[in-house]
Amino acid sequence: MIEWYNFCASAKRNTPHELKADLRNASVLKNNRVVFNICGNKYRIVVLMDYNRKGMLIRFVGTHEEYDDIEHI
């Protein structure tokens, strides 16, 4: 997860299309949300993207099974 954080912190994406081009395993959702599948899809991270400020707010970190049990953030 440290590698994911460092990659995301260093990259500056302006649009969901740029993010998807860099990280093809990311799922871009409505309302500027993105789901990242990490560790071979064993874990998921849901973030709220702020493309204008080049930032993200982590909303959920957990296993794929835990993600399936939550109401989508």
Number of residues that make up the chain? 73
Tell me the pTM. 0.81
Residues 6+ positions from 70 with CB-CB distance below 8 Å: 60, 62
- Please, are residues 45 and 66 in contact by the beta-carbon 8 Å criterion? no
Q: Give per-residue pLDDT as tens, 7-30.
A: 777 777 889 998 888 888 889 999
Residue 73: per-residue pLDDT: 58
